Amino acid sequence: MITFEHNQHTLRLWGDLTIYHAAEARSRLGEELARDPELEVDLSGIEELDTSGVQVLLWLKAEARAQGQSLPFTSHSPAVLEVFDQLNLAAAFGDTLLIAPNA
């Protein structure tokens, strides 16, 4: 399940951004992008990410660029960092990635 929390210009995603929720996420993210040109997406609540979820995020970045928006992704969760690393996609998103030290 994927849930969304919009607070000012930040949209925080919670849960799983996987094939099971990709269509719902794409629709909701597109709506949020259209509503808020200063939107930023907080990925700290993503617990699971698969290639369908990655495709949604890539689509969202491309859509923002087409509309002249920057749309930063912030606070990447460990699950997001792992998938971005495995697929060598960090540069494709153009966001700063902060890797927390091991506890």
Residue 98 lies in a domain: no
Does residue 86 lie in a domain region? Answer: yes
Amino acid at site 89:
L
**Is 68 a domain residue?**
yes
Q: What is the pLDDT of residue 99?
A: 56
DSSP state of 101: P
Domain encompassing residue 25 = 2-93
Q: Report the alpha-carbon angle 61-65-68, nearest 5.
A: 140
pLDDT digits (tens, 9 = 90+) for 27-62: 999 999 999 999 999 999 999 999 999 999 999 999
The count of domains in the chain is 1
- What phi and psi, each to the nearest 5 degrees, are found at residue 10? -110, 130
Q: CA 47, CA 54: separation in Å to the nearest integer?
A: 13
CA dihedral 80, 1, 30, 82 (to 10 degrees): 10
Domain at 54, CATH number = 3.30.750.24
- pLDDT at residue 101 tops 70: no
